[in-house]
């Protein structure tokens, strides 16, 4: 993830497209949504890339999986190599030795 500054440097360092880099931009994910009373406190916020944050709520804004359910789903999909569109790109770059 990256904090939103220095996009060009992030793209160059990891050999990403701008679109992939933007999916990896850091966001603040509210574990309990603000619309459900979740607060802007450290205990209720986790850093998540834009992709991971938006996928939790995609298609189910009122019935998103719990943070634990979502974590388990993401970890299972990562283990299967089927989660993030940037993973295969970064793995290829790593294997080619072009990412440090
Ligand atoms: Zn992510």
14 in any annotated domain: yes
The total domain count for the chain is 1
pLDDT band at 15 (very low <50, low <70, confident <90, very high): confident
35 in any annotated domain: yes
pLDDT at 95 over 90: no
CA of 68 to the centre of ligand 1 (A): 15
CA of 58 to the centre of ligand 1 (A): 14
Q: Given this model, what pLDDT does residue 87 score? A: 72
52 in any annotated domain: yes
pLDDT in tens, 16-64: 889 989 999 999 999 888 888 999 999 999 999 999 888 888 887 678 8
Kindly report each contact of residues 16-21 with a partner whose C-beta sits within 8 Å and lies 24 or more positions away, as own/partner: 16/86, 16/89, 16/90, 20/85, 20/86, 20/89
CA of 26 to the centre of ligand 1 (A): 8
CA of 52 to the centre of ligand 1 (A): 4
Beta carbons of 49 and 26 less than 8 angstroms apart: yes
66 in any annotated domain: yes
This prediction's pTM: 0.77
Residue range of the domain that includes 89: 7-95
Name the residue among 4, 42, 46, 44 with its Cα closest to residue 23: 4
């Amino acid at each position: 993830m990256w904090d939103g500054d220095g996009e060009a440097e992030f793209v160059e360092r990891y050999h990403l497209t701008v679109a992939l880099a933007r999916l990896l931009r850091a966001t603040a994910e509210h574990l309990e949504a603000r619309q459900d009373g979740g607060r802007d406190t450290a205990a209720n916020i986790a850093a998540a890339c834009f992709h991971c944050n938006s996928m939790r709520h995609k298609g189910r804004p009122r019935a998103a999986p719990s943070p634990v359910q979502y974590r388990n789903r993401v970890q299972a999909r990562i283990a299967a190599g089927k989660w993030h569109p940037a993973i295969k790109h970064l793995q290829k770059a790593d294997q080619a030795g072009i990412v440090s």
